[in-house]
Structure 1
Amino acid sequence: MAFRWLGKSDDGRTVTLQRLEGCPIATPAYATDTWMQNNADLVRIGIVLDVETTGLNQSEDKIIEIGMRQFFFNRNTGEVLKLGAAYSSFQDPSVAISAEISELTGITDEMVAGKNIDWAEVNKLLEQASLIIAHNARFDRPFIDRKSSISKEKIWGCSVKQVNWNGQGFTSSKLELLNVYHGFFTDSHRAINDVDALLYLISLPGKNNQPYLAELLHNARRPMAHVIASSAPFESKEFLKGRGYSWDNVNRFWAKIIFKDELSSEMVWLEESVYCGPFGGIVRDIALADSFKS
């Protein structure tokens, strides 16, 4: 797969990067207010969301900043038709922000002191959305689900797991690197900056000249399954790790979440490479609204 670097010069000797200001999406010419009213069956509302937190523990750490941007999209083509409302706020976590988190995000105790997220406003935006998108939704969603009952009932999409960046010609799915590969940069690890960067990124055309959002939408509609390779032989751990399985240290098993339509081939691989016989684990269906939950 040829590596793509959209900011590279024709001679390949230099790369030009531009600072992203806001979210300068090029919406299609047909997406007038009249067209959107006459084609309401094709128009859906999405939310791109990002949180900054005091740490990685989704049960104990706290949100210190949230960023959200609403957008309207064509459910058939994945084109972004129009930008909607945005919301951003700090949150005082009532604990000291570590030096490591301040270094990563630029957020200090002084910046969040006395600040509070308006969860009524957050829920108002979430309620209107048919899809909530985050870059690594498995991280962001549990933090939001703890605070919002609306979030728990919504379908979430993940621009890490539901866009095949490698297949699109990129060697990393990290947002900062994808931004650079597409010729722009922003002040990363600040919620609204990452939101605008992600929404702009997924609005861009991929190798097939369709927006990356189209691939994400397709995959967000595909049911998923949780494959638990319980009682797997110890000597198979490297095979499982190489296949993308993760070790659950509490329940003591290897597990992986896959698209349900890939289950048959996964079972064949497990029986041939791990169990050397009938599959001895468990498969659990995941409802669309439960994707990326804790």
Structure 2
Amino acid sequence: MTDALDDIAGILERTGEYRVLRRLKPFAASGEPADEPTYLGLILDTETTGLDPATDEVIELGIIAFSYGASGRIYRVGQRFNQLQEPSRPIPETVTRLTGITDADVAGQRIDDAAVEALAGRARVIIAHNARFDRRMCEVRWPVFATRNWACSCHQIPWREEGHEAARLGGLLADHGYFHNGHRAIDDCEALLALLAWPLRRSGRLGLAALLEAARRPTVRLWASDAPFALKDRLKDRNYRWSSRRRCWYIDLDEEQIEIERSFLSREIYGGILPGLPADRFTARDRFSARSDPET
């Protein structure tokens, strides 16, 4: 029956009038021996009771372990881990509608903390599709995540430059002709693993190679101290953000962009005289953590 359906799908696609989405199957590495040093990576996704790490809780944790080389090739897929957790209060209806996870599903369930810490403790890098959210949720419960390198496949791969309209996981899969059961932790992990293993649409680079390159680069947060209020729109147009805690505009940049940015600030903001501006340097060890939050 599957072969017959594939034939029908192929006929529809060849007309040019239809696009067919196929269900994504779990990724399987080629099994070829590695010709470079390999490392352990984790793909991670959480489902939670809400968006606030201080008050909300993880109700599902999905992890896929894999070995990879610096080239971005994935050589082996290891343990697949997926567990539910009963929270301290009922799951909000909005979360159940989004994920399908009910109070009955999580009743009596608990994520194995020791197993999670053992996996994370051996990882060279942990990848999430919104690392700013997943990292902070995980660090509250499992402190080991604060000591790991993290990478964000949503914001550290140039999806738009590679021909995609947006970086939403389901949309990226659809652009490749696939769909998955979104908003369940292990299914989102499977989707991300496949995307990282495939070549990017325009450059042809492996998705994981592009992500690792971005994650390895330090970033610098430059603070535009005492910038004139009248020039705030010029800063906003250049993608500066406002920190309400520090009462200051800031921008996050790759290190090689700093001198260009200082020249802009001197010329356009400070009237040719550049004050000594504070700057913070981040690497994959602290990027996306609450430690790097400009509001904390």
Q: 1:247 to 1:192 in 2, by over 3 A?
A: same
Instruction: Provide the C-alpha distance between the structure 2 equivalents of 1:282 and 1:166, rounded to a whole number of angstroms.
Output: 32
Q: Which residue of 2 aligns with 1:188?
A: 182
Instruction: Provide the C-alpha distance between the structure 2 equivalents of 1:210 and 1:150, rounded to a whole number of angstroms.
Output: 31
Instruction: Provide the C-alpha distance between the structure 2 equivalents of 1:156 and 1:247, rounded to a whole number of angstroms.
Output: 25
> C-alpha deviations, 1:187-240, integer Å up to 9, x for none?
111111111101111110112322111000111111111222333333333333
SS of the residue 2:68 aligns to: strand
SS of the residue 2:88 aligns to: coil
1:19 is aligned, of 19, 23, 37, to 23
Q: Which residue of 2 aligns with 1:145?
A: 139
The runs of 5 or more residues in structure 2 that have no matched partner are 1-9, 291-296
1:219 is aligned, of 214, 221, 227, to 214
1:12 Cα shift? 4.8
Q: Which residue of 2 aligns with 1:87?
A: 81
Instruction: Provide the C-alpha distance between the structure 2 equivalents of 1:218 and 1:50, rounded to a whole number of angstroms.
Output: 21
Instruction: Provide the C-alpha distance between the structure 2 equivalents of 1:88 and 1:276, rounded to a whole number of angstroms.
Output: 56
Q: Which residue of 2 aligns with 1:105?
A: 99
SS of the residue 2:285 aligns to: helix
2:60 is aligned, of 53, 60, 65, to 65
Q: 1:59 to 1:243 in 2, by over 3 A?
A: farther
Query: Which contiguous aligned blocks of 4+ residues in structure 1 show a shift greater than 4 angstroms?
Result: 7-12
Instruction: Provide the C-alpha distance between the structure 2 equivalents of 1:45 and 1:257, rounded to a whole number of angstroms.
Output: 28
Q: 1:44 to 1:102 in 2, by over 3 A?
A: same
Asked if 2 retains the 8 angstrom alpha-carbon contact of 1:78 and 1:217, the reply is yes
SS of the residue 2:127 aligns to: strand
Does 1 or 2 have the higher relative contact order (CA < 8 Å, sep 6+)?
A: 1
Q: Which residue of 1 aligns with 2:39?
A: 44
Give, as a single letter, the amino acid of the residue that structure 2 aligns with 1:54: T
Q: 1:266 to 1:72 in 2, by over 3 A?
A: same
Q: Which residue of 2 aligns with 1:133?
A: 127
1:239 is aligned, of 223, 234, 248, to 234
1:10 Cα shift? 6.2
Instruction: Provide the C-alpha distance between the structure 1 equivalents of 2:278 and 2:16, rounded to a whole number of angstroms.
Output: 50
1:272 Cα shift? 3.4
Give, as a single letter, the amino acid of the residue that structure 2 aligns with 1:47: L
Q: Which residue of 2 aligns with 1:171?
A: 165
Instruction: Provide the C-alpha distance between the structure 2 equivalents of 1:63 and 1:274, rounded to a whole number of angstroms.
Output: 44
Q: 1:274 to 1:112 in 2, by over 3 A?
A: farther
Asked if 1 retains the 8 angstrom alpha-carbon contact of 2:217 and 2:283, the reply is no
Instruction: Provide the C-alpha distance between the structure 1 equivalents of 2:113 and 2:52, rounded to a whole number of angstroms.
Output: 21
Q: Which residue of 2 aligns with 1:4?
A: none
2:288 corresponds to 1:292: yes
Asked if 1 retains the 8 angstrom alpha-carbon contact of 2:151 and 2:284, the reply is no
Q: 1:227 to 1:60 in 2, by over 3 A?
A: farther
> C-alpha deviations, 1:41-67, integer Å up to 9, x for none?
611110000111111112221111110
2:69 corresponds to 1:74: yes
Instruction: Provide the C-alpha distance between the structure 1 equivalents of 2:125 and 2:167, rounded to a whole number of angstroms.
Output: 21
Q: Superposition pairs for residues 110-129 of structure 1, below 5 Å?
A: 110-129=104-123
Instruction: Provide the C-alpha distance between the structure 1 equivalents of 2:16 and 2:249, rounded to a whole number of angstroms.
Output: 43
Aligned identity (percent) is 35
Asked if 1 retains the 8 angstrom alpha-carbon contact of 2:65 and 2:78, the reply is yes
Give, as a single letter, the amino acid of the residue that structure 2 aligns with 1:250: R
Instruction: Provide the C-alpha distance between the structure 1 equivalents of 2:165 and 2:195, rounded to a whole number of angstroms.
Output: 16
2:48 corresponds to 1:53: yes
Q: Superposition pairs for residues 259-270 of structure 1, below 5 Å?
A: 259-270=254-265
1:79 Cα shift? 1.0
SS of the residue 1:288 aligns to: coil
Instruction: Provide the C-alpha distance between the structure 2 equivalents of 1:242 and 1:10, rounded to a whole number of angstroms.
Output: 45
Larger Rg: 2
Asked if 2 retains the 8 angstrom alpha-carbon contact of 1:221 and 1:288, the reply is yes
Q: 1:212 to 1:112 in 2, by over 3 A?
A: same
Moved more, 219-228 or 79-88: 219-228
1:167 Cα shift? 1.3
Moved more, 214-223 or 234-243: 234-243
Asked if 1 retains the 8 angstrom alpha-carbon contact of 2:215 and 2:283, the reply is no
